Amino acid sequence: MKHFDVIVIGAGSVGVPTAMALAKEKLQVLTIDTLASPGQGQNKKAIGGIRATHSDKGKITTCLRSIEIFSTWEEMHGDDIGWIQNGYSFPAYTDEDALKLKELMKIQKSFALDIDWLTAEEYQKIVPGINMDGLRGSTYSPKDGSASPLRAVNAFYFKSMEYGARYRFKEKVTKIDLLSSNEIQVTTDKDVYFTSHVINAAGNYARQIGAMAGIDLPVEPDSHEGAITEPVQRFFGPMIVDLRPSQDPATEDSANYYFYQNNEGHVIFCLTPKHLIKGTASEATSVFLPQVAKRMVSLFPKLANLKVRRTWRGQYPMTPDGFPIVGPVNDHPNFINAVGMCGQGYMLGPGLGELLTRMVTSGLTEEDWDVLTHFNPYRDFSGMEQFK
């Protein structure tokens, strides 16, 4: 069959759960990806954190639904995807950061987020051994968690196939022709397909796919590095996000960094470079590990004796304001973009997949319309999300 109800471009953190949600509604869906299997782009480079602790209703609402899907997956479907509800924490070591976090917490609570402020002593109980020097306290959202990106994407992939979704791997989209309001021709290097709807979930290559439909999407990848240690017995609870920038000339400047211990005991960590490296180069650098290790050990000395197994480098497909672009092209409402996840596609993906399905089936709720205003492709991009 060469005609589908929906063609999804990209079999990653957003594309696969979207295909699953569409196929569950009995739509004929084809997902096309240039790589050899699902989740082989940036999904496999994600560190696995899943949070709803954002600064905006769109992301909070979408991620709350994602957390419901991740947290109940094994119970409902039987697959162990490595889910643990270990929570997220944002410790504050300056009065300014404490004030910002407390003000943000008011917004988060208004959208039904389970989050509270812990004193330094209360925080030390869930992160025993944390550096107490200057610690003002921390926000803590206990229902956030983590799961294995590879296990999760494969669970979603096989479930989508059970529902009837089809995939074409090692196949590159080369042309998109918007023939009419209800017919789109998608040409690849191997075949030609026809569909009523296209969903652009192409991650790093979102801009190129968008250009085929005549829209210039302001999505530009930049590089971030991550690492994983040997597994050890669990010795702390939540994801720890240190917001403080560093100006250490010995290891170059850097922005925030974050780390947690996954369900198997590995400590996984990532750092945001101050001077962003644009593009899609994926070779690990010699700067990252000494840079982040020095900062992590200063914050949490218990990490000092862990052995790092490997490091890697991946991309965040970024928008100018740090928010995703989700919605149709104005002149062609059946060409829908779900791009610019800014490194958060893994945590947004399952909730976003259901939202996109309601968009395709004309089932959007009043709350959905409100959420989509925050992701509008034609918005003013001059703002910026807090604590990205």
Condensed to tens digits (0 to 9), the pLDDT of residues 96-148 reads: 999 999 999 999 999 989 999 999 999 999 999 999 999 999 999 999 999 99
Number of H helices, E strands in the chain: 9, 18
Given its phi and psi angles, is residue 78 left (phi above 0), alpha (psi -120 to 50 degrees) or beta? Answer: left
The DSSP call for residue 84 is B
Helices 15-24 and 149-163, axial angle in degrees (round to 10)? 30
CA distance 211 to 231: 44
Q: Measure the N-to-C terminal CA separation of the chain; round to a whole number of Å.
A: 43
The pair of three-digit structure tokens given for residue 365, joined into one six-digit string: 């709720």
Alpha-carbon torsion (128, 133, 137, 138), positive or negative? negative
Using a pLDDT cut of 90, give the percent of the chain over it.
89
Question: What is the SS3 assignment for 107?
Answer: helix
Q: Which domains does the chain have, with CATH numbers?
A: 3-77+149-219+321-374 (3.50.50.60), 88-143+221-318 (3.30.9.10)
What pLDDT is attached to residue 249? 73
CA distances from 66 to 112, 145, 342, 348 (A): 15, 11, 16, 6
User: Could you tell me which residues come within 8 angstroms of residue 187 by beta carbon, excluding any fewer than 6 positions away?
Assistant: 173, 174, 175, 176, 177, 193
Strands (DSSP E) contained in the chain are 3-9, 29-32, 49-50, 88-92, 116-118, 137-141, 145-146, 166-168, 173-180, 183-188, 192-200, 220-231, 239-242, 254-261, 266-273, 308-318, 325-329, 332-339
pTM to 2 decimal places: 0.96
Stretches where the chain sits below pLDDT 70 are 1, 250-252, 383-388
What pLDDT is attached to residue 250? 66
